[in-house]
Amino acid sequence: PLSFAASETFSRKNINCTIDESIARFRDVVVAAKDRGFPVRGYVSCVLGCPYQGEVTTESVARLSEKLIEMGCREISLGDTIGVGTPDKTIQMIHDVERVVDKNMLAVHFHDTYGQALANIYAAVKEGISVVDSSVAGLGGCPYAAGASGNVATEDVVYMLNGMNVETRIDMDKLVDAGTYICNVLNQPRRSKAGIALVAAGIKRCHEDNKRID
Protein backbone atom coordinates (compact mmCIF):
# COMPACT_ATOMS: atom_id res chain seq x y z
CA PRO A 1 0.00 0.00 0.00
CA LEU A 2 1.01 3.59 -0.63
CA SER A 3 0.47 6.03 2.22
CA PHE A 4 -0.94 9.51 1.72
CA ALA A 5 -2.53 12.03 4.09
CA ALA A 6 -5.58 14.25 3.80
CA SER A 7 -3.75 16.73 6.05
CA GLU A 8 -0.92 18.84 4.63
CA THR A 9 0.80 19.10 8.00
CA PHE A 10 0.63 15.38 8.68
CA SER A 11 1.92 14.63 5.18
CA ARG A 12 5.01 16.77 5.86
CA LYS A 13 5.56 15.18 9.27
CA ASN A 14 4.97 11.60 8.11
CA ILE A 15 6.59 11.41 4.66
CA ASN A 16 8.36 14.79 4.47
CA CYS A 17 6.48 16.24 1.50
CA THR A 18 3.23 17.98 0.58
CA ILE A 19 0.17 16.06 -0.58
CA ASP A 20 0.76 17.05 -4.22
CA GLU A 21 4.43 16.10 -3.96
CA SER A 22 3.49 12.69 -2.54
CA ILE A 23 1.17 12.04 -5.49
CA ALA A 24 3.92 13.00 -7.94
CA ARG A 25 6.48 10.80 -6.17
CA PHE A 26 4.27 7.72 -6.08
CA ARG A 27 2.88 8.01 -9.60
CA ASP A 28 5.82 6.12 -11.12
CA VAL A 29 5.49 3.43 -8.44
CA VAL A 30 1.86 2.86 -9.39
CA VAL A 31 2.70 2.69 -13.08
CA ALA A 32 5.53 0.21 -12.48
CA ALA A 33 3.34 -1.95 -10.26
CA LYS A 34 0.49 -2.04 -12.76
CA ASP A 35 2.90 -2.89 -15.60
CA ARG A 36 3.94 -5.95 -13.58
CA GLY A 37 0.39 -6.93 -12.78
CA PHE A 38 0.44 -5.89 -9.12
CA PRO A 39 -2.64 -4.14 -7.74
CA VAL A 40 -1.98 -0.96 -5.78
CA ARG A 41 -3.79 0.12 -2.65
CA GLY A 42 -3.82 3.75 -1.57
CA TYR A 43 -4.10 4.58 2.13
CA VAL A 44 -5.44 8.01 3.09
CA SER A 45 -4.64 8.92 6.69
CA CYS A 46 -6.20 11.58 8.93
CA VAL A 47 -9.60 11.37 7.23
CA LEU A 48 -11.45 12.44 10.39
CA GLY A 49 -8.84 14.58 12.11
CA CYS A 50 -5.17 15.49 12.30
CA PRO A 51 -2.96 15.63 15.41
CA TYR A 52 -1.39 18.86 14.14
CA GLN A 53 -4.03 20.89 12.30
CA GLY A 54 -7.15 19.48 13.94
CA GLU A 55 -10.20 19.17 11.71
CA VAL A 56 -9.82 17.74 8.22
CA THR A 57 -12.59 18.48 5.72
CA THR A 58 -14.39 15.60 4.03
CA GLU A 59 -13.98 17.49 0.76
CA SER A 60 -10.18 17.21 1.02
CA VAL A 61 -10.52 13.47 1.73
CA ALA A 62 -12.76 13.01 -1.29
CA ARG A 63 -10.49 15.09 -3.53
CA LEU A 64 -7.39 13.09 -2.61
CA SER A 65 -9.23 9.76 -2.93
CA GLU A 66 -10.37 10.69 -6.42
CA LYS A 67 -6.83 11.60 -7.44
CA LEU A 68 -5.51 8.25 -6.20
CA ILE A 69 -8.10 6.35 -8.20
CA GLU A 70 -7.24 8.40 -11.29
CA MET A 71 -3.57 7.60 -10.64
CA GLY A 72 -4.36 3.89 -10.77
CA CYS A 73 -4.98 2.70 -7.22
CA ARG A 74 -7.37 -0.25 -7.11
CA GLU A 75 -8.61 0.41 -3.58
CA ILE A 76 -8.60 3.33 -1.15
CA SER A 77 -8.41 2.74 2.59
CA LEU A 78 -9.83 5.65 4.57
CA GLY A 79 -7.92 5.88 7.84
CA ASP A 80 -8.87 7.58 11.09
CA THR A 81 -5.25 7.71 12.19
CA ILE A 82 -5.78 9.25 15.61
CA GLY A 83 -9.14 7.67 16.34
CA VAL A 84 -11.13 10.87 16.85
CA GLY A 85 -13.98 10.00 14.49
CA THR A 86 -17.54 9.24 15.49
CA PRO A 87 -20.27 7.36 13.58
CA ASP A 88 -22.10 10.41 12.20
CA LYS A 89 -18.84 11.94 10.97
CA THR A 90 -17.85 8.58 9.49
CA ILE A 91 -21.11 8.36 7.55
CA GLN A 92 -20.78 11.91 6.23
CA MET A 93 -17.19 11.28 5.16
CA ILE A 94 -18.17 8.10 3.30
CA HIS A 95 -21.07 9.89 1.59
CA ASP A 96 -18.76 12.65 0.36
CA VAL A 97 -16.07 10.25 -0.87
CA GLU A 98 -18.49 7.92 -2.65
CA ARG A 99 -19.64 10.81 -4.78
CA VAL A 100 -16.30 10.59 -6.60
CA VAL A 101 -15.11 7.03 -5.86
CA ASP A 102 -17.11 3.81 -6.29
CA LYS A 103 -18.06 2.44 -2.87
CA ASN A 104 -16.75 -1.00 -3.90
CA MET A 105 -13.27 0.54 -4.10
CA LEU A 106 -13.33 1.85 -0.53
CA ALA A 107 -12.10 0.34 2.74
CA VAL A 108 -11.99 1.74 6.27
CA HIS A 109 -9.21 1.81 8.84
CA PHE A 110 -10.01 2.94 12.39
CA HIS A 111 -7.75 3.36 15.38
CA ASP A 112 -9.46 2.95 18.74
CA THR A 113 -7.91 5.84 20.69
CA TYR A 114 -11.25 7.16 21.91
CA GLY A 115 -13.08 3.83 21.91
CA GLN A 116 -15.05 4.69 18.75
CA ALA A 117 -13.56 2.24 16.27
CA LEU A 118 -16.22 -0.49 16.45
CA ALA A 119 -19.07 2.02 16.33
CA ASN A 120 -17.48 3.65 13.28
CA ILE A 121 -16.98 0.30 11.57
CA TYR A 122 -20.59 -0.64 12.28
CA ALA A 123 -21.69 2.63 10.65
CA ALA A 124 -19.40 2.04 7.65
CA VAL A 125 -20.61 -1.54 7.15
CA LYS A 126 -24.22 -0.33 7.28
CA GLU A 127 -23.28 2.16 4.56
CA GLY A 128 -22.12 -0.70 2.35
CA ILE A 129 -18.37 -0.80 3.03
CA SER A 130 -17.18 -4.41 2.91
CA VAL A 131 -13.42 -4.09 3.56
CA VAL A 132 -12.16 -3.31 7.06
CA ASP A 133 -8.53 -3.00 8.16
CA SER A 134 -7.71 -4.32 11.62
CA SER A 135 -4.83 -5.53 13.77
CA VAL A 136 -4.59 -8.81 15.66
CA ALA A 137 -4.87 -8.09 19.41
CA GLY A 138 -5.19 -4.37 18.62
CA LEU A 139 -1.45 -3.90 18.35
CA GLY A 140 0.17 -0.93 16.64
CA GLY A 141 -0.01 2.84 16.77
CA CYS A 142 1.46 5.86 14.98
CA PRO A 143 4.80 7.49 15.88
CA TYR A 144 3.67 10.82 14.41
CA ALA A 145 0.36 10.95 16.31
CA ALA A 146 0.99 11.24 20.04
CA GLY A 147 -1.36 9.08 22.08
CA ALA A 148 -2.78 7.20 19.10
CA SER A 149 -3.59 3.63 20.02
CA GLY A 150 -3.31 0.65 17.73
CA ASN A 151 -5.68 -0.20 14.94
CA VAL A 152 -8.96 -1.75 16.04
CA ALA A 153 -8.53 -5.35 17.19
CA THR A 154 -9.38 -7.97 14.57
CA GLU A 155 -10.96 -10.18 17.24
CA ASP A 156 -13.38 -7.40 18.23
CA VAL A 157 -14.33 -6.69 14.62
CA VAL A 158 -14.92 -10.36 13.78
CA TYR A 159 -16.97 -10.88 16.96
CA MET A 160 -19.19 -7.93 16.01
CA LEU A 161 -19.55 -9.03 12.39
CA ASN A 162 -20.44 -12.56 13.47
CA GLY A 163 -23.19 -11.04 15.61
CA MET A 164 -24.42 -9.16 12.53
CA ASN A 165 -24.48 -12.42 10.52
CA VAL A 166 -21.81 -11.05 8.20
CA GLU A 167 -19.72 -13.85 6.74
CA THR A 168 -16.00 -13.34 7.36
CA ARG A 169 -14.65 -16.90 6.87
CA ILE A 170 -12.34 -16.28 9.83
CA ASP A 171 -11.86 -18.99 12.46
CA MET A 172 -12.23 -17.13 15.75
CA ASP A 173 -10.37 -19.75 17.80
CA LYS A 174 -7.36 -19.57 15.49
CA LEU A 175 -7.55 -15.77 15.47
CA VAL A 176 -7.43 -15.64 19.26
CA ASP A 177 -4.52 -18.10 19.24
CA ALA A 178 -2.68 -15.82 16.81
CA GLY A 179 -3.26 -12.89 19.17
CA THR A 180 -1.88 -14.89 22.09
CA TYR A 181 1.20 -15.87 20.08
CA ILE A 182 2.12 -12.39 18.84
CA CYS A 183 1.50 -10.76 22.23
CA ASN A 184 3.85 -13.29 23.83
CA VAL A 185 6.50 -12.74 21.17
CA LEU A 186 6.33 -8.94 21.49
CA ASN A 187 5.77 -8.99 25.24
CA GLN A 188 2.76 -6.74 24.74
CA PRO A 189 -0.64 -6.88 26.45
CA ARG A 190 -3.64 -8.04 24.47
CA ARG A 191 -5.82 -5.03 23.64
CA SER A 192 -8.76 -6.95 22.24
CA LYS A 193 -11.74 -7.08 24.60
CA ALA A 194 -13.26 -9.99 22.70
CA GLY A 195 -9.90 -11.77 22.72
CA ILE A 196 -9.51 -11.33 26.47
CA ALA A 197 -13.04 -12.57 27.11
CA LEU A 198 -12.72 -15.56 24.80
CA VAL A 199 -9.40 -16.62 26.34
CA ALA A 200 -10.94 -16.36 29.81
CA ALA A 201 -13.97 -18.36 28.68
CA GLY A 202 -11.69 -21.00 27.19
CA ILE A 203 -9.69 -21.30 30.42
CA LYS A 204 -12.91 -21.58 32.40
CA ARG A 205 -14.19 -24.34 30.11
CA CYS A 206 -10.91 -26.22 30.49
CA HIS A 207 -11.18 -26.05 34.29
CA GLU A 208 -14.76 -27.26 34.15
CA ASP A 209 -13.83 -30.13 31.81
CA ASN A 210 -10.97 -31.13 34.11
CA LYS A 211 -13.34 -31.19 37.10
CA ARG A 212 -15.72 -33.46 35.22
CA ILE A 213 -12.85 -35.80 34.32
CA ASP A 214 -11.71 -35.89 37.94
Can you tell me the distance from the alpha carbon of 64 to that of 70, in angstroms, rounded to the nearest whole number?
Answer: 10
Q: Is 46 a catalytic residue?
A: no
Residues with Cβ within 8 Å of residue 124, at least 6 apart in sequence:
90, 91, 94, 108, 132
Number of Cβ within a 10 Å radius of residue 126: 11
Q: Which of 50, 73, 142, 183 is catalytic?
A: 142
Catalytic residues: 142
